[in-house]
């Protein structure tokens, strides 16, 4: 239940701020993207660096997350100068001891 609340809160944060790009999506497409984001939860992480701003991430970014995911190496997608998305590799996700990562973390640039 807690995960559902966090997921819902996350989409409340991103949907209003990205409505321009979402406006071109049909309801079916938006639902599909939302489902894909939920399924990928824990396999990517939005990292905000040297800031406490709330991330405004386009829901369609899931396509890019899927496209950059590698077999063995962590990938990163730059969203803004201080926001990037860490994409875990397939080998880590399929590992029997896989632990999901937090969806959003705040980092200091000195720590990365």
Secondary structure (DSSP) of 22-78? HTTS-HHHHHHHHHHHHHHTTSEEEEEES--PPP---TTHHHHHHHH--SSS-EEEE
Q: How far apart are CA 53 and CA 55, in angstroms?
A: 6
| Residue 1, token pair as written in the block | 């239940």
| Among the listed residues 52, 62, 59, the one whose alpha carbon sits nearest the alpha carbon of residue 87 | 62
pLDDT at res. 17? 44
Higher pLDDT, 88 or 8: 88
Backbone angles phi, psi at 64, to 5 degrees: -70, -40
The answer to whether the CB of 16 falls within 8 A of the CB of 54 is no
Q: What are the pLDDT digits (tens) for 51-88?
A: 988 877 787 888 999 999 999 999 999 999 999 999 99
pTM of the model: 0.72
Higher pLDDT, 59 or 9: 59
pLDDT at res. 8? 45
pLDDT at res. 4? 43
């Amino acid at each position: 239940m807690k995960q559902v609340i966090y997921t819902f809160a996350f989409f409340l944060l991103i949907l209003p701020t990205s409505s321009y790009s979402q406006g071109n999506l049909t309801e079916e497409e938006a639902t599909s993207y939302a489902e894909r984001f939920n399924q990928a939860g824990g396999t990517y992480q939005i990292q905000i660096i040297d800031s406490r701003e709330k991330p405004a991430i386009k829901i369609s970014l899931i396509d890019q997350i899927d496209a950059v995911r590698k077999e063995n190496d962590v990938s990163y997608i730059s969203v803004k100068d201080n926001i990037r998305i860490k994409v875990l590799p397939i080998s880590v996700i399929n590992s029997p001891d896989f632990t999901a990562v937090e969806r959003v973390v705040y980092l200091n640039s000195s720590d990365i």
